[in-house]
Amino acid sequence: MATEQSPKVSTPRDIRKEERAQRKAQRQGADAAPERKLEQVIIIGGGIAGMEATKQLLSLGYRPVLVEKEDHLGGHVASWNRLFPDMGDAQAIISTLREEIMDATIYLSTEISFCNRLRDGYNVMLSNGVNVLARAILMSTGFTLFPAAKKEEYGYGVYDRVITNADLENWFNGGDDHRIPSSPKAVGFVHCVGSRDLKAGNPQCSKVCCITAIKQAIEVKEKFPEAEVYCFYMDLRLFGKKYEDFYIRAQRDFGIHFIRGRVSEVSETINGSVQVKAEDTLSGRPIKVVLDMLVLMAGIVNNPDNAGIAKQLSLETDTDGFLRSADNILSITESPRKGIFLAGACTGAKTVPETVAEARSAALSIHNYLKNLQ
Amino acid sequence: MNFGFSLSPSSAVNLDKIDLSLYHKMEEIEPDVRICIGCGSCSATCTGQPFSGMSLRKVILAIQRGRENEAREMLSGCMLCGKCTMVCPRGINTRHLILSMCRYWDGEDHGYNLMNEVEVKI
Ligand SMILES: Cc1cc2nc3c(=O)[nH]c(=O)nc-3n(C[C@H](O)[C@H](O)[C@H](O)COP(=O)(O)OP(=O)(O)OC[C@H]3O[C@@H](n4cnc5c(N)ncnc54)[C@H](O)[C@@H]3O)c2cc1C
Ligand code: SF4
Ligand code: SF4
Ligand code: SF4
C-alpha cells in the first residue's frame, strides 16, 4: 500500500515553537487576545475508531492528539477493498475521515513509551520524544488478525495456493499475489480459522468473518464466473443488517456451495493445487474436493500491544482476552479507570458501523467526564 | 497434511467427480432450490416421513452430492400433500419441485411412480 502523508503532523519542534510564541505573547501582554488553550485528549490508535473519535472531539472543541504506530492512518480498514453490507469503498471512507481530522495533532509511526498517572490526569511520553499531558485517554488500538500459519493443518505459508481473507482484500486493492491463479476452476473458503477454537487459544466467534467469506465468495465468483466456489462453515453467523440478503444472493445468484463441516486437513496435489477434507455433516459423509485456491478466514484476536499499555495504565483484560470495559452492557466505552476510555475492536470483534458508533459514544463520554471535572 | 490413515472411500463424497447434471436440471425447474438452507422443517412436518423416512432436505442434499438413486428412492415416499411448502422458511415451492422432478423422471421412463399415483391406480 502506498505510504500516505498525514495531513498535519506537528513535530516536537513545531510544538516547542508554538509554546515559545505563546509565552512570548503572554510576556508582551499581546494586544491580540491569546487563543483559548484547548484541552488535549490523547487517542492511542489511528484506525477507524481513533479517527472517528478524533473527528468528534475536534467538533466538541478539544485538541485531540492522535498517536498511530504505523506510517499511515486507517488501521485494518485501510487494507480492505469493499465493505459489507453495501460494498462501500473502504479507501474512500478512510480518506474522507482523514480530511475531516486535518486540524488534529497526528503523530504517525509513534508509540507510547510510558505513561504515569497524575493527580487528575496522565502524563504520556511518546516514542518521538513528545510529552503529552491530558486528563482523558482513549484506547483505540484495535485487533490483530489471527496468524493463520498457526493452524498448521491448513498449510498457510507452506502450500502455494492457500491465502487469507486479508491477502484477498489486498489483491482486490490491486496488490500482486502470485498465489492467486489466473483462472481457477474451484475455490474454497474456510470459516472460523483461529476462532471458536479452544486449542488455538481463541474460543470466541470473530463475528465478521462469516459475512466476509460470503462477500469475498461473491467477489471471487464475479471475477471468475467459471469457478465453483465452496464455503466450509460450522455455523453461519450472519447477524447484521442485510447480511442474510448476502447469503441468499450468494446461493441464488452466484450458485455458491455451502458445506456444513469444518475443514480437517489440507494437502497439496501433484500439480500444486490443494485437496481439502471435511465432513459433510448434513449427510454424515466425508467429503473432499480439489481446489485451485483456498482462502482462510482468519479471525479477530486481541492486539498484543494492549497488554503492555494496559499494564502501564492499570487497565484489565476481560476473560475473552480483549480490554475490559467498565460494564459490557451500559458502559462499553468506559474502562474501569477514571479518565480512560475504550472504542472499537480493542474490546472485541466489531464491524465498521459498530466501531464508528462506539467512537462517537466514547467522544461523548469523554466530553461529559471532562465537563464534570471542571 | 497426511496423518497416515484415510477414511473408507465407499461413503465419501468426492466433489471433483460427482455428476451434477441432475442438480442443474433441478435448478432449471425450480431455481429456488439453490436457497435451501437445510433447516429440515420440510422433513419434520412431512406426512410421508413416519412411513417411509421421506426427507426432502435429504433429497435435495443427495442430488447436490450427485446421489441420484438415493434421492429417487426416498422421493417415492412423498404423498404430494404440500405441507413442506407451507413450512419452508425460504419460500421454496417444494411441492412443485417434487412434482416436477417426478415428471422429469417419468419422462425418462424409469418406471418411477409416485406413491399417490400408485394409490390411484389401485
Ligand atoms: C478480513 C476482514 C474484513 C472486514 N471487512 C469489513 C467490512 O467489509 N465491513 C465492516 O463493517 N467491517 C469489516 N471488518 C471489521 C473491521 O476491520 C473492524 O471493524 C475495524 O478495523 C475496527 O477498527 P478499529 O479502529 O477498532 O481497529 P483497527 O482497524 O485494528 O485499528 C487499530 C489502529 O491502532 C493502531 N495501533 C495498534 N496498537 C497501537 C499502539 N500500541 N500504539 C499506537 N497505535 C497502535 C493500529 O496500527 C491501527 O491503525 C473486517 C474485518 C476483517 C478481519
Ligand atoms: S463469524 Fe462465522 S467464520 Fe467468523 S468465527 Fe463466527 S462463525 Fe466462525
Ligand atoms: S409434499 Fe411430500 S415431501 Fe412435502 S410434506 Fe408432503 S409428503 Fe412430505
Ligand atoms: S424447509 Fe425449505 S429450506 Fe428447509 S430444508 Fe426444507 S426445502 Fe430446505
Q: In this predicted structure, what is the pLDDT of residue A374?
A: 75
Q: Ligand 4: which residues within 6 Å by Cβ? A: B 36-42, 56-57, 87-90, 92, 94
SS3 A163: strand
Looking at the structure, tell me whether residues A234 and A313 fall in a common domain: no
Q: Are residues A294 and A158 located together in one domain of the fold?
A: yes
Instruction: Judge if A75 and A169 occupy the same domain.
Output: no
Beta bridge partners of A118: A121
Q: Are residues A293 and A320 in the same domain?
A: no
Four-residue CA torsion sign, A352, A358, A361, A362 = negative
- Ligand 3 in reach of B58 Cβ (< 6 A): no
A360 with A275, same domain: the answer is no
Q: What is the pLDDT of residue A22?
A: 63
Exposure string for A276-299, b = 16+ CB within 10 A, e = fewer = bbbbbebbebbbbbbbbbbbbbbb
The domain made up of B21-121 is a member of CATH 1.10.520.10: no
DSSP string, A53-113: HHHHHHHTT-EEEEE-SSSSSBGGGGG-SEETTTTEEHHHHHHHHHHHTTTSEEESS--EE
Whether A3 maps to a domain, the answer reads no
Provide the domain limits for residue A311.
12-142+303-373
Q: How many domains are there within chain A?
A: 2
Cell numbers of A52, please?
472517528
Cell numbers 512570548: residue: A24
- Number of other residues whose CB lies within 10 A of the CB of residue A89: 13
Facing B15 at nearest CB: one of A155, A265, A289: A289
Of the candidates A337, A358, A309, the residue with the CA atom closest to the CA atom of residue A135: A337
Q: Are A75 and A46 in contact (CB under 8 A)?
A: yes
Task: Report helix, strand or coil for A112.
Answer: strand
Same domain, residue pair A275 and A185: yes
Chain B positions in Cβ-Cβ contact with residue A255 (cut-off 8 Å): 27, 34
Q: Indicate if ipTM > 0.95.
A: no
Residue A2 lies in a domain: no
CA distance A281 to A286: 8
Domain boundary among A300, A320, A335: A300
Alpha-carbon distance of B56 to B98, in angstroms, equals: 9
Nearest CA to ligand 3 atom 5: B46
Of A152, A228, A252, the CB nearest to B35: A252
Going residue by residue through chain A (374 aa), what tens digit of pLDDT does each one get? Answer: 444 444 555 565 666 666 666 666 555 554 555 456 799 999 999 999 999 999 999 999 999 999 999 999 999 999 999 999 999 999 999 999 999 999 999 999 999 999 989 988 999 999 999 999 999 999 999 999 999 999 999 999 999 999 999 999 999 999 999 999 999 999 999 999 999 999 999 999 999 999 999 999 999 999 999 999 999 999 999 999 999 999 999 999 999 999 999 999 999 999 999 999 999 999 999 999 999 999 999 999 999 999 999 999 999 999 999 999 999 999 999 999 999 999 999 999 999 999 999 999 999 999 999 999 97
First-to-last alpha carbon distance for chain A, in angstroms, is: 44
Give the CATH number for residue A18. Answer: 3.50.50.60
Give me the count of residues in chain B.
Answer: 122
Q: Residues 261-290, chain A: which have Cβ within 8 Å of B?
A: 265-267, 277, 280, 282-283, 285-290
pLDDT, tens digit (0-9, with 9 covering 90-100), for B22-75 = 999 999 999 999 999 999 999 999 999 999 999 999 999 999 999 999 999 999
Q: Are residues A167 and A293 in the same domain?
A: yes
Mark which of A253, A271, A300 sits at the end of a domain: A300
